[in-house]
Structure formats: structure tokens, C-alpha cells
Amino acid sequence: MNPLVRCPHCGHYHQATLEYCPDTGLPIYITTKPEPQKDNQKLLVGLAIAAGLMALIGAIFGFLAWAILWLIRLSLRKTG
């Protein structure tokens, strides 16, 4: 006995060996994977957050580099 599958078009159960629905004539199995819908707004918000974090990290490291160079210059003035 062949297992039954539910048809996505008519809702009836058909033999698993059938490729097309006998009621509608449409294929029972999807042959290609549907492409997922992309949410552009979530992508843009994520990119904006990532860019903001990168700018903040760059500012912090820039300030630290400036402070280290300033301390080195200050110590060279006292010794030299």
C-alpha cells in the first residue's frame, strides 16, 4: 500500500506516487525551493548599528592613540 500525501492545492489525500493533483492538475511537490523574502528594513537597521559601533570603536582607539602619543611627547620634554 502506497502512503498518502496531502495535496497543497485541493487539500485531499493522494497516493505518494502521483506527481500531479488529479483534481487541479498542479504538481503535488514543489520542484524548486522558494526564495525567502528579505526584509530590507531589518537589514538597513543592522547595517546602521554595525556602522555606528565601528565608528565608536574607531573613535575610542583614536583617542587612546592620541593620548599615548601625547604622554610620550610629554615624557620626552621632561627628559630631554
Q: What pLDDT sits at residue 41? A: 86
Instruction: Collect all residues with Cβ–Cβ distance below 8 Å to 27 and sequence separation of at least 6.
Output: 19, 20, 21
So what's the pLDDT on residue 43? 87
Integer angstrom CA distances of residue 35 from 32, 38, 67: 9, 9, 51
User: 3-class SS at 69?
Assistant: helix
2-57 residue pLDDT tens: 688 888 888 888 888 888 888 888 888 755 566 677 778 888 999 999 999 999 99
The verdict on pTM exceeding 0.85 is: no
Give the start-to-end residue ranges of the domains of the chain: 1-30, 39-80
Confidence at residue 80, expressed as pLDDT on a 0 to 100 scale = 56
24 vs 61 pLDDT, higher one: 61
